[in-house]
């Protein structure tokens, strides 16, 4: 089969990496093209092919689209993207079109998605199966009834099925979308999309290279791939200073791929024998295998990495919407996760949380994390997507 997967990241890289895991699984058996068009991101070597559209992202207030290329005209970029997508679908003619998040989100990109979806259904493009790829939690909307009606109508007119990348025992879709019974297309839960678990041997090697003994504790602090969360890394560095007499606790702090460069320089001012600052790294799951405690935000991919590794974690949810707080709460009884609030970032208080959490051990999770393989199996079975 030929598969096209559309994924538009606009803030961090969680959406990109979740889609990439699905595409890598599909590409092992099918010709798979991942269509991207956000801020620059490192493209790994794999069987997945990439179609890069002229870049668009959201402004810092998350209120409007702006070109990634400084000085570019927005309308010209949008038109160039539409033309590139049209040429691609005319030539590639996929059997499956997998669309990440839309119509549940990414409304700002309907200018290019609706013509393709409509063209597949009744226009110039070859017929194919149109599936929505949806994460676990939807952000809140001001007019929920209007929003849900629009989503249902678009699913009915422009899609053939819905893949929900969640485990319903923990986060069912109805938690954030009240009219699930009105969804007009077949829908299936896949389990969560977990990136590959870290390598225990590589984790042990990291500990050896750091000179850590079995009684030393490694604290790994991170803010994922986005440009938010600087306050969490600053607070962790301050807490590490409070704990400087605990020579057995070692802190390694990782900035995000889109973090302000000044943050890295700021954190390096804290560096001493027990505190080390790093740029974003590609082998982060191996660090979780090496670590004894994670301090991080609570994005989808971060939580899946934590669940896969079993590492105890202090989690500081992104405050702008409900998503990350809901995720931490959902896993409270299935993982060694503890919630951090803003007041908990005070150095003395955070230091005490760290002391307490280092007494916890790693554990196996019962959360379903095989979502990429399950997604591939479901996508390959056309009988699932026939409407009754």
Q: What is the pLDDT along the chain (388 residues), one digit of tens a residue?
A: 999 999 998 877 788 989 999 999 999 999 999 999 988 888 888 899 999 999 998 887 777 899 999 899 999 999 999 999 999 999 999 999 999 999 999 999 999 999 999 999 788 999 999 999 999 999 888 899 999 999 999 999 999 999 999 999 999 999 999 999 999 999 999 999 987 777 889 999 999 999 999 999 999 999 876 667 889 999 999 999 999 999 999 999 998 777 777 888 788 888 777 899 888 777 889 999 999 999 999 888 889 999 999 999 999 998 777 888 999 999 988 888 999 999 999 999 999 999 999 999 988 889 999 999 999 999 999 899 998 7
Residue with tokens 């051990």: 361
Residue with tokens 């969490």: 232
CATH topology for 2-194+370-385?
Answer: Rossmann fold (3.40.50)
Q: How far is CA 171 from the centre of its chain?
A: 16
Q: How far is CA 219 from the centre of its chain?
A: 22
Which pTM does this prediction carry?
A: 0.91
Please provide residue 387's backbone torsions phi and psi, each rounded to the nearest 5 degrees. Answer: -70, 140
Residue with tokens 């299936």: 188
Residue with tokens 């996760």: 337
Distance CA 101, CA 107 (A): 9
Distance CA 71, CA 227 (A): 22
How far, CA to CA in Å, does 107 sit from each of 110, 113, 238, 244? 5, 9, 40, 49
Q: Helix, strand or coil for residue 385?
A: helix
Burial tier of 27 (Cβ tally within 10 Å: 0-12, 13-18, 19+): buried
Burial tier of 287 (Cβ tally within 10 Å: 0-12, 13-18, 19+): buried
Q: Helix, strand or coil for residue 231?
A: helix
Segment (H or E) for 278? strand 275-278
The answer to whether 252 touches 220, Cβ cutoff 8 Å, is yes
Q: Is 15 left (phi over 0), alpha (psi -120 to 50) or beta?
A: alpha
Question: Domain map of the chain by residue range?
Answer: 2-194+370-385, 200-357
Neighbours of 107 (CB within 10 A): 15
The candidate with the shortest Cα–Cα distance to 256, out of 24, 10, 11, is 11
Question: Looking at the domain that runs over 200-357, which CATH code has it been given?
Answer: 3.40.50.2000
Residue 103 exposure: Cα atoms within 13 Å on the Cβ side: 22
Please provide residue 58's backbone torsions phi and psi, each rounded to the nearest 5 degrees. Answer: -90, 150
Q: Is 62 left (phi over 0), alpha (psi -120 to 50) or beta?
A: left
Does the bond joining 103 to the residue before it have cis omega, within 30 degrees of 0?
A: yes
| 200-357 shares the fold of 2-194+370-385 | yes
Distance CA 247, CA 243 (A): 8
Distance CA 259, CA 261 (A): 6
Return the pLDDT at 169: 95
CA dihedral 189, 338, 227, 63 (to 10 degrees): 60
């Amino acid at each position: 089969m030929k598969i096209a997967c559309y994924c538009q990241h606009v803030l961090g890289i969680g959406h990109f990496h979740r889609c990439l895991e699905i595409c890598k699984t599909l590409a092992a058996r099918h010709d798979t093209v991942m269509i991207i068009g956000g801020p620059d991101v490192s493209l790994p070597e794999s069987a997945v092919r990439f179609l890069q559209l002229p870049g668009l992202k959201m402004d810092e207030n998350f209120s409007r689209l702006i070109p990634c290329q400084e000085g570019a005209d927005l309308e010209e970029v949008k038109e160039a993207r539409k033309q590139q997508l049209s040429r691609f679908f005319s030539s590639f003619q996929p059997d499956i079109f997998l669309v990440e998040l839309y119509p549940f989100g990414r409304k700002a990109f309907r200018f290019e998605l609706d013509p393709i979806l409509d063209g597949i259904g009744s226009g110039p493009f070859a017929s194919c199966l149109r599936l929505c790829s949806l994460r676990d939690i939807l952000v809140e909307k001001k007019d929920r009834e209007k929003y849900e009606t629009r989503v249902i109508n678009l699913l009915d007119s422009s899609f053939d099925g819905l893949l929900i990348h969640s485990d319903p025992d923990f986060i069912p879709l109805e938690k954030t979308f009240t009219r699930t019974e009105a969804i007009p297309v077949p829908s299936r839960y896949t389990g969560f999309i977990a990136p590959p678990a870290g390598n225990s041997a590589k984790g042990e090697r990291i500990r050896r290279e750091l000179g850590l003994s079995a009684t030393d504790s490694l604290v790994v602090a991170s803010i994922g791939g986005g440009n938010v969360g600087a306050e969490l890394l600053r607070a962790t560095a301050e807490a590490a200073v409070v704990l400087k007499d605990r020579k057995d606790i070692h802190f390694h702090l990782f900035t995000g791929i889109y973090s302000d460069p000044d943050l890295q320089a700021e954190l390096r001012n804290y560096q001493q024998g027990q505190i080390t600052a790093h740029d974003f790294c590609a082998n982060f799951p191996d660090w979780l295998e090496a670590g004894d405690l994670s301090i991080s935000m609570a994005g989808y991919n971060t939580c899946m990495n934590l669940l896969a590794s079993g590492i105890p974690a202090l989690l500081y949810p992104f405050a702008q919407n409900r998503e990350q707080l809901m995720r931490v709460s959902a896993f409270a009884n299935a993982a060694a996760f503890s919630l951090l609030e803003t007041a908990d970032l005070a150095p003395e208080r955070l230091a005490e949380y760290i002391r307490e959490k280092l007494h916890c051990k790693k554990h196996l999770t019962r959360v379903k994390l095989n979502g990429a393989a399950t997604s591939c199996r479901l996508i390959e079975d056309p009988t699932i997507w026939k409407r009754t």
